[in-house]
Amino acid sequence: MSLVLKAIEISRSRRFGSLFSRRVNRPLDGKPDRLRSTTVPYTTVPARPFAVAARFFATILLVSVVVFVSAAAASDTPPLQMPMQMPMQTPKLFVELPDYCPTPDGMAVDAEGNLVVACPNYADQTKPACVVKIDKEGNVKKWFDVPVLADTGLACPMGIAFGPAGELYICDNQGWKGTPEGQFKGRLLECRVEGMGEEAKVTCRTIAEGLEHPNGVRFHLGKLYVTNSLMSRENDPSGLLVSGVYCFDPGTKKAIAVTNTRKDPELVWSVLTYNRDCQYGLDGIAFDKAGRMYLGNFGDGTILRAELDKSGNVLTCETWAKDLKNLRTTDGICFDENDNLYIADFSDNAIAVVRPDSRVYRIARSPDSDGANGELDQPGEPIVWNGRLYVTCFDCVTGPDKVNTKHDPPFTITTLDLPDQLDTESH
């Protein structure tokens, strides 16, 4: 502010000096010098220069007051909320997974700070579906093989979440491969595991069964919320796909059998997916600090936000974020500690961030590749771990709307900076 006034002071004195010296002796006829008759006397005309000078002073004073008042007012109000910079990043390779993890998917962090990854191994189901642990240095160890379903001889762990006692909840998506024997056989498992790898002692029980496509799970205030991405038995008059989110009590004594229709009492919300070219519904799920539930509707590329009551019932649910230029499909989602929501844009090989004000940004996108250099190779799920974003590369599905054209080794987890850290560093 003082610099501004100083500049005005300098300007004012210069303007006044030149103005006065030019006008103080002016010819009475007002003609330019070259036309003036030599008979026309010069005289001094003080009135008009002083009037001009007075007006000039008044103008300068007014401008100064306006500038001062504006600056003072500005200092008392918050700065304008300018759009945050969201530079596109080049993902970096975190780890190449062992051959027994060809299709990494859901993630969680255990009590010791390890990254825990579910591996349904759809790309090669001769490899038992398993859960691995990865330490900060990127050392990968098998934790345990997920108990198979007798009907299929397979397990298909996708979304995972820890409960308060270290029990691991697993969406066992038996229907994902589309085999007849796996249809409507999805389970929500609770597994307690002691030891690692060959020595692991695994005790699992089924919380819910008969799910068509259990995909994402979160433990929230003592309840388990699970997305069911397909509910094809529910024939909506529109002909559009129905999908939903269930709320299960982990304390249930016996497995809850669902019908995959809106009649299920545990179904807390259902939606349609409007994109007829991609009929795949609710997928990623996450909760913000205020306890609101966020759901990704995969085919529509939308994020829904739901308010819950204390019993876990959905009070309201609305489309919260949608921006198809920056986010086309919503697979796994997660929050950072600042309530920024990260989304794996599965089909577009990209990562999006939704700010708390619901604006959507794309922060990384990779061309089709094998992922060897850390490229996004069909991102399935993001997670915030040790101050960075980590993303599993599912690398398994191809099709006309998918960037990925081939399942190809290596099998990878890649990593990105959190945008807020970039903001901090750049300031």
Residues 6+ apart with CB under 8 A from 204: 146, 147, 189, 190, 191, 192
Shortest distance (Å) from residue 410 CB to Ca ion: 6
Shortest distance (Å) from residue 408 CB to Ca ion: 5
What's the rounded Cα separation, in Å, for the pair 382 and 131? Answer: 16
Q: Are strands 241-248 and 201-211 parallel, antiparallel or unpaired?
A: unpaired
Shortest distance (Å) from residue 209 CB to Ca ion: 32
Piece of 201-209, 280-288, 363-371, 415-423 that binds Ca ion (CB under 5 A): 363-371
Piece of 23-31, 195-203, 278-286, 391-399 that binds Ca ion (CB under 5 A): 391-399
Q: Which is nearer to Ca ion, 404 or 415 (CB)?
A: 404
Record the tokens describing residue 334, joined without a space.
Answer: 């997660």
Q: Which is nearer to Ca ion, 242 or 364 (CB)?
A: 364
By the 8 A CB rule, do 335 and 292 touch? no
Shortest distance (Å) from residue 368 CB to Ca ion: 7
Shortest distance (Å) from residue 200 CB to Ca ion: 27
Can residue 377 be called a binding residue for Ca ion (CB under 5 A)? yes
Q: Which is nearer to Ca ion, 225 or 390 (CB)?
A: 390
Q: Which is nearer to Ca ion, 189 or 396 (CB)?
A: 396
Residues 6+ apart with CB under 8 A from 420: 336, 338, 340
Sign of the dihedral through C-alpha 212, 213, 217, 220: negative
Record the tokens describing residue 315, joined without a space.
Answer: 């009070």
Residues 392-421 that bind Ca ion (CB under 5 A): 395, 404, 408
Record the tokens describing residue 323, joined without a space.
Answer: 């921006």
Q: Please, what is the Cα angle at 148 between 142 and 151, to 5 degrees?
A: 160
The helix/strand/coil state of 72 is helix
The site that binds Ca ion (CB under 5 A) totals a number of residues, namely 6
Instruction: For the sheet with 201-211, list strands across it.
Output: 157-162, 168-172, 186-194, 201-211, 256-257
Can residue 105 be called a binding residue for Ca ion (CB under 5 A)? no
Can residue 371 be called a binding residue for Ca ion (CB under 5 A)? yes
Give the residue among 400, 395, 402 at the shortest CA–CA distance from 377.
Answer: 395
Rg over alpha carbons for the chain, rounded to the nearest Å, is 33
137 phi, psi to nearest 5 deg: -85, -5
Piece of 92-100, 271-279, 362-370, 417-425 that binds Ca ion (CB under 5 A): 362-370
Piece of 6-14, 85-93, 357-365, 372-380 that binds Ca ion (CB under 5 A): 372-380
Piece of 36-44, 154-162, 326-334, 367-375 that binds Ca ion (CB under 5 A): 367-375
Shortest distance (Å) from residue 140 CB to Ca ion: 15
Cα–chain-centroid distance for residue 330?
Answer: 9
Shortest distance (Å) from residue 349 CB to Ca ion: 9
Give the residue among 154, 312, 298, 319 at the shortest CA–CA distance from 230.
Answer: 298
Shortest distance (Å) from residue 102 CB to Ca ion: 9
Q: Which is nearer to Ca ion, 343 or 403 (CB)?
A: 403
Q: Which is nearer to Ca ion, 243 or 369 (CB)?
A: 369
Can residue 96 be called a binding residue for Ca ion (CB under 5 A)? no
Piece of 22-30, 256-264, 306-314, 365-373 that binds Ca ion (CB under 5 A): 365-373
What's the rounded Cα separation, in Å, for the pair 227 and 419? Answer: 28
Q: Please, what is the Cα angle at 158 between 157 and 164, to 5 degrees?
A: 85
Q: Which is nearer to Ca ion, 302 or 404 (CB)?
A: 404
Figure out which of the listed residues 307, 323, 339, 370 binds Ca ion, where binding follows CB under 5 A: 370
Piece of 209-217, 270-278, 279-287, 373-381 that binds Ca ion (CB under 5 A): 373-381
Q: What is the DSSP letter of 77?
A: S
Which amino acid, 158?
M
Shortest distance (Å) from residue 371 CB to Ca ion: 4
Q: Which is nearer to Ca ion, 212 or 395 (CB)?
A: 395
Q: Are strands 256-257 and 201-211 parallel, antiparallel or unpaired?
A: parallel
Q: Which is nearer to Ca ion, 264 or 331 (CB)?
A: 331
Q: Which is nearer to Ca ion, 229 or 412 (CB)?
A: 412
Q: For residue 410, is the peptide bond before it cis, meaning its omega torsion is within 30 degrees of 0?
A: yes
* Residues near Ca ion (CB under 5 A): 370-371, 377, 395, 404, 408
